[in-house]
Chains A and B, each alone.
Chain A
């Protein structure tokens, strides 16, 4: 890196992604705090360790194959075969400490300039995507607390965190992904790419796993299982909000010569930030829209739940998730209103699904991430109908309309994309794997262990200096232990 401007761009980009990774770490801290608060006292440490182990397992498997999938799968299967991705295979020199010189591997897809770039960017870019992977897996964790075996959850976490979500990212969250090129799919800040698939995955597991003992009365009426610490739940959600700043920033490319590098024109340079599709946006745009959608979500959550802290905070999160698909382009007030609508959908759907299908989603993860993400992706298809979905000069034409020589964003493409991510890549693989794990006896803890508490025999009480105070749920546990209720 001898050219001053080039070096500055590369090293700024390297530092930028590194900062996003640090911020996004807070999302996982938030999920852990939140789940600990939502669990009953008898299950706290099991809950904490289950989600903590997402970090090492998804990290190493994302190193083994997740990163390669992102670069290998964009065209597969509808636009071609697997793409050569020599910088992303785990045995590549560029998947380690490298200064960019002494090239030993040079292929058609990795020239001298790429080598210098990937030597500096590979680790931080990998880590930014990895933190999305943790988030995607961790979303499922909350839904299944208090009865899932850690082993089953961790296998599902690897499946979702290092395989299925990154396939959807390759297809629909990459400028050359076939969903973008053919369907005009647009989901800039991952309403479906991260949240929709995670919600669908959680629903697939929940359907096989079943509700917590005592969640539903004999007549099917759902009971509220009290959280051990509502304050922890809200602090956890606050931490997730904070980490979301890093999540949003990591979805952008911070600086690129748009005219010369992206468009390939030999004119004056025009430097800008872009989204993941290489179309222009700015940090200001997403800051406006992040805060306005968060605010819309909080306001709607507060009204719908009549001031309940859990749903007000979850409303803030669901609001951001709903607007995320189009938050690179929306007006801030549009983002706010879309967020409010998404929270209404998520809240109503959560309770309807709970009553109708007896699904026990312990933290509302399917609603806040899945339904809100799905709805937001569909809304973006209408709101952004007619924008170019990616950069001019791309080779393929879209199935549902074109503009400026590329597929236009459109309602059909975004609806199909939301369905594919929630049901096809989310629900279905996890439902199948959960069925297999259940058949092997690896999915759910034994009934007696669940009633006594997952911490009781192994970890012990998380608060040994504080006496227990029974709630109505403890009496229900006793009835269940006697075979009643």
Chain B
């Protein structure tokens, strides 16, 4: 019902063969919303991560952060 293809015998006259042809507008709209939502999530998530990092560095001191560069666990353990 959704396939748009009932037989491969008349291949020369087959066009779109993906399921649910005719709803391309809706698919594109959904995809654009996913794209924009992804940016919104990524921006919030990244900024929250930097805020948390800043709070932590101010708490432990930036010197300690530099001593344990690239190794957050060690920084926490020695705090």
Q: Which residues of A lie under 8 Å from residue B70 when comparing CB positions?
A: 41-42, 453, 455-456, 460-462, 468
In the complex formed, the residue of B with least CB distance to A460 is B72
Say yes or no: B11 contacts A99, CB within 8 Å: yes
- Contacts known (A452-B65, A477-B66); A91 close to B14, Cβ less than 8 A: no
Tell me the residues in window 445-485 of chain A with beta carbons closer than 8 Å to chain B beta carbons.
445-446, 448-449, 451-453, 455-458, 460-462, 464, 468, 474, 477-478, 481-482
Interface size on A, as a range, is 35 or more
Using A451-B62, A456-B70 as known contacts, say yes or no to A102 and B15 having CB atoms under 8 A apart: yes
Q: Are B17 and A452 in contact (CB under 8 A)?
A: no
Answer whether residue B28 sits at the interface, using C-beta atoms and an 8 A cutoff: yes
- Name the residue on B nearest A56 (C-beta): B38
Q: Is there an interface contact between A102 and B16, defined as CB atoms closer than 8 Å?
A: yes
Known: A448-B57, A457-B52. A101 touches B43 (CB 8 A): no
A92 lies within 8 A of B66 (CB):
no
Set B15, B62, B73: member contacting A452, Cβ < 8 A: B62
Closest Cβ neighbor of A92 among chain B residues: B24
> Is the CB–CB distance between B46 and A150 below 8 Å?
yes
| B23, chain A: closest CB distance, angstroms | 9
B53 near A474 (CB under 8 angstroms)?
no
Q: Is B79 an interface residue (CB 8 A)?
A: no
Q: How far is the CB of B8 from chain A (nearest CB, A)?
A: 10
Residues of chain B within 8 A of A464, CB atoms compared: 71
Given contacts A93-B21, A456-B69, A464-B71, contact A449 B16 (CB under 8 A): no
Confirm or deny: A16 has a beta carbon within 8 angstroms of a beta carbon on chain B: no
Q: Is residue A217 within 8 Å, beta carbon to beta carbon, of the partner chain? A: no
B18 touches A60 (CB 8 A): no
Q: Please, which residues of chain A bring their CB within 8 A of the CB of B27? A: 91
B63 within 8 Å of A (CB atoms): yes
- CB neighbours (8 Å) of B21 from chain A are 93
Instruction: Tell me the A81-109 residues at the B interface (CB within 8 Å).
Output: 90-93, 95-104
Q: How far is B39's CA from A151's CA once the two chains are assembled, in angstroms?
A: 7
Residues of B within 8 A of A92 (CB): 24
Q: Chain B nearest CB: distance from A390 CB in Å?
A: 33
Contact yes or no, A448 B54, CB < 8 A: yes
The minimal Cβ–Cβ distance linking A249 to chain B, given in whole angstroms, is 29
CB of A20 to closest CB in B, whole Å: 25
Q: Inside 8 A of A91's CB, which chain B residues have their CB?
A: 24-25, 27-28
- B42 to A151, Cβ gap below 8 A? yes
For the complex, is A64 an interface residue (Cβ under 8 Å from B)?
A: yes
A321 located at the interface, meaning its Cβ lies under 8 Å from any Cβ of chain B in the complex: no
Is B37 engaged at the interface, CB distance under 8 Å to the other chain? no
Given contacts A97-B16, A452-B57, contact A42 B39 (CB under 8 A): no
Does the CB pair B28–A64 fall under 8 Å? yes
A95 to B46, CA, bound (A): 33
| Interchain CB contact under 8 A, A97 and B69 | no
Closest Cβ of chain A: how far from B47's Cβ, in Å? Answer: 8
Which residue of B31, B53, B63 contacts A449 across the interface (Cβ within 8 Å)? B53
Q: Which of A96, A458, A461 contacts B16 (CB 8 A)?
A: A96
In the complex formed, the residue of A with least CB distance to B62 is A481
Which of chain A's residues have a CB closer than 8 A to the CB of B32? 64
A64-B32, A481-B62 given as contacts; is B13 within 8 A of A457 (CB)? no
Nearest-CB distance from A439 to chain B (Å)? 15
Q: Are B15 and A98 in contact (CB under 8 A)?
A: yes
Q: List A contacts of B24 (CB < 8 A).
A: 90-93, 95-96
CB distance from B12 to the nearest CB of A (A): 6
Bitwise interface map of A from 230 to 268 toward B, beta carbon under 8 Å scored 1, else 0: 000000000000000000000000000000000000000
Task: Return chain B residues, CB-CB under 8 Å to A460.
Answer: 70-73
Please state if A102 and B52 are interface contacts (CB–CB under 8 Å).
no
Q: Contact at A90–B66, with CB atoms within 8 Å?
A: no
The CA of A151 and the CA of B71, in the complex, are separated in Å by: 24
In the assembly, what is the distance between CA of A316 and CA of B64, in Å? 42
- Closest CB in chain A relative to B7 CB, distance in Å: 13
A420 to B15, CA, bound (A): 41
Residues on A with beta carbons closer than 8 Å to the beta carbon of B73: 460
Q: Which of B41-79 contact A (CB under 8 A)?
A: 42-43, 46-47, 49-50, 52-54, 56-58, 62-63, 65-66, 68-73, 75
Residues from chain B with Cβ under 8 Å of A449 in the complex: 50, 53-54, 57
Q: What separation, in Å, do the CA atoms of A100 and B17 have in the docked complex?
A: 10
Does A448 contact B46, Cβ atoms closer than 8 Å?
Answer: no
Q: Are B65 and A456 in contact (CB under 8 A)?
A: yes
A1-52, CB < 8 A from B? 2, 41-42
Is A42 a contact partner of B18 (Cβ separation < 8 A)? no
Asked whether B58 lies within 8 Å of A448 as measured between CB atoms, the reply is yes
Name the contact of A61 in the complex, choosing from B15, B35, B66 (C-beta under 8 A): B35
Q: Report whether B39 and A98 are in contact in the complex, using a CB–CB cutoff of 8 Å.
A: no
- 0/1 string, A99-134, CB within 8 A of B gives 1: 111111000000000000001000000000000000
Q: Is the CB of A209 closer than 8 A to any CB of chain B?
A: no
Interchain CB contact under 8 A, A97 and B18: yes
Of all A-B residue pairs in the complex, the 5 with the closest CB atoms, nearest first, are A102-B15, A457-B53, A461-B70, A91-B24, A452-B65
Given A93-B15, A99-B15, A448-B54, 7 other A-B residues pairs in contact with their CB atoms under 8 A: A90-B31, A96-B24, A97-B18, A98-B15, A101-B14, A449-B53, A468-B70
